[in-house]
A and B are shown apart, each in its own frame.
Chain A
Amino acid sequence: METASTLTDAGHWVTVIEKEAQVGGKLNNWSYLFPDFTPVEKIKESLREKCEKKDFTILRETEIQSVNRKNDKFDIDTSSGQKLEADAVVVATGYELFDARRKEEYGYKIYDHVITSADLEKLLLPNGDFTVAAGAHPKRIAFVHCVGSRDEKSGNQYCSKVCCITGVKQAIELKKRLPEAEIYCFYMDLRMYGKHFEELYREAQEKYDIQFIRGRLSEASEKIDKSLLIKAEDTLSGRPLKMNVDLLVLLVGMEAGKGTASAATTCGIECESSGFLKTADSFLKSNFSAQEGIFLAGSCTAPMSVNDTILHARSAAIEVDNWLKQTN
């Protein structure tokens, strides 16, 4: 959307082909954004305004069927039968959330009170209900970092980049809602790389008593009262640790997903072993694919936060604009 809007501003005719019924992609999953709890509605509102005010077309619930280069143009066929002609193509297929069921030892969709960060995000809305058993709120909650990231067993070697700070953000939000609850984060490393991230981590310790335990969970098991027994090593004290919790939150990572894989096939561009799209150069051409005229924007190239995605999308628009000026 950001790319389309910026390109429209630059005077180009843009058509957005959107798989879903509503635009915004995974933004629709979140309620508040790190690191400053910006309501996601604010970002979506700005996107909506751009869609409504500006003169570009959105084809909803539509997928790309084929992209063929013809002379200097691209012929595009969509699933709803439209035929489009384009000078340039921008792939912005985004990411998928890791399916936590694949990490069976944590019991997602097997045990009642194991949820993902995306599930929790919905509960964080003002009307969210945290009741776990017989009308009681959870007294002890644990977050598990790196679920589906940095994990050979899930097939994902890479770091998803956003889960560390998402965990800290959600832990604080939970503590605000449930001040009596004890909250623990089980981490391997805490990667507070972004602006205000480290400060938020400090705030979590200082103001909200969130406790951080360095160790990866090996497994969770459900007890008869539906609480969960979790096992990890407290690696800093060098001893195995077990803990009973009422709610377990899995911080799920990002995957390239099927949409990106099929876009790669359709456009004839390459994926990396992680499944994300390969950029022509990681420093100077992060919006270019190896195919002339096919550009890349956002988290289809790598796990990315919302603000990084917006920046990458805008830079894609600039690259497309420059390229069109040079070639036409």
Chain B
Amino acid sequence: MKDFGFTVIKQRTIDYDQFDGRLLNYILEMEPSFKVCLSCGGCTATCSAGDLVSFNIRRLNLMLRRGETVELESEIKKCMLCGKCQLVCPRGINLRNVIMLIKKSVAKHQTVNS
């Protein structure tokens, strides 16, 4: 096709109508504690990986809830499963299990958006 010099820009809006919650629902079912995140960021503050690379464990919740599942697979590879996030979490979320669940299921639940 002739190149007119235009690019198609991906929409920045979160399109909730396109939201595919299969992966989120699977994780919430297997680890219900994940429902109660306050987004306080205690986990990210103490994260061993987050000091060194751009890994934000708090954002995993948001990514799942906004259907941003494409980056998840590469994101969770940064986690070292040290579990410090769980020690500080004021809501007692089992984040290690969340990482393991994402690892196990991300391929299975590739979304329509991905």
A residues with a Cβ closer than 8 A to B are: 105, 146, 150-153, 188, 214-219, 231-235, 238-241
Q: Which of B45, B51, B89, B91 contacts A215 (CB 8 A)?
A: B45
18 contacts across the A-B interface (CB closer than 8 A): A151-B90, A152-B89, A153-B88, A153-B92, A188-B38, A188-B39, A216-B41, A216-B42, A218-B43, A218-B46, A232-B41, A232-B42, A233-B44, A233-B50, A235-B39, A240-B44, A240-B45, A240-B51
B residues with a Cβ closer than 8 A to A are: 38-47, 50-51, 56, 58-59, 84, 88-92
Asked if residues B46 and A231 are in contact (CB atoms below 8 Å), the reply is: yes
Closest to A156 in B: B90
Q: How far is the CA of A217 from the CA of B90 in the complex (A)?
A: 11
Q: Which 4 A-B pairs have the closest CB atoms?
A: A233-B41, A216-B40, A218-B46, A218-B45
Q: How far is the CA of A217 from the CA of B42 in the complex (A)?
A: 6
Asked if residues B40 and A188 are in contact (CB atoms below 8 Å), the reply is: yes
Asked if residues B90 and A232 are in contact (CB atoms below 8 Å), the reply is: no
List residues of chain A with CB within 8 A of the CB of B92. 152-153
Q: How far is the CA of A231 from the CA of B47 in the complex (A)?
A: 10
Classify the interface of chain B: helix, strand, loop or mixed: loop
Asked if residues A233 and B42 are in contact (CB atoms below 8 Å), the reply is: yes
Closest to B47 in A: A240
List residues of chain B with CB within 8 A of the CB of A238. 44, 56, 58-59
List residues of chain B with CB within 8 A of the CB of A188. 38-40
Closest to A219 in B: B46
Q: Which of A214, A216, A241 has the most CB of B within 10 A?
A: A216
Q: How far is the CA of A231 from the CA of B50 in the complex (A)?
A: 12
Q: How far is the CA of A219 from the CA of B84 in the complex (A)?
A: 11
14 further A-B contacts with Cβ under 8 Å, apart from A150-B38, A153-B90, A216-B90, are: A152-B89, A153-B88, A215-B40, A218-B88, A219-B45, A219-B46, A219-B88, A231-B45, A233-B40, A233-B42, A233-B58, A234-B41, A235-B41, A235-B58
Q: How far is the CA of A150 from the CA of B37 in the complex (A)?
A: 12
Q: How far is the CA of A215 from the CA of B43 in the complex (A)?
A: 10
Closest to A236 in B: B41
B85 to chain A, nearest CB (A): 9
List residues of chain B with CB within 8 A of the CB of A231. 45-46
List residues of chain B with CB within 8 A of the CB of A217. 42, 45
Closest to A233 in B: B41
B58 to chain A, nearest CB (A): 6
List residues of chain A with CB within 8 A of the CB of B42. 215-218, 232-233
Q: How far is the CA of A146 from the CA of B38 in the complex (A)?
A: 12
Q: How far is the CA of A234 from the CA of B50 in the complex (A)?
A: 12
Q: How far is the CA of A105 from the CA of B46 in the complex (A)?
A: 11
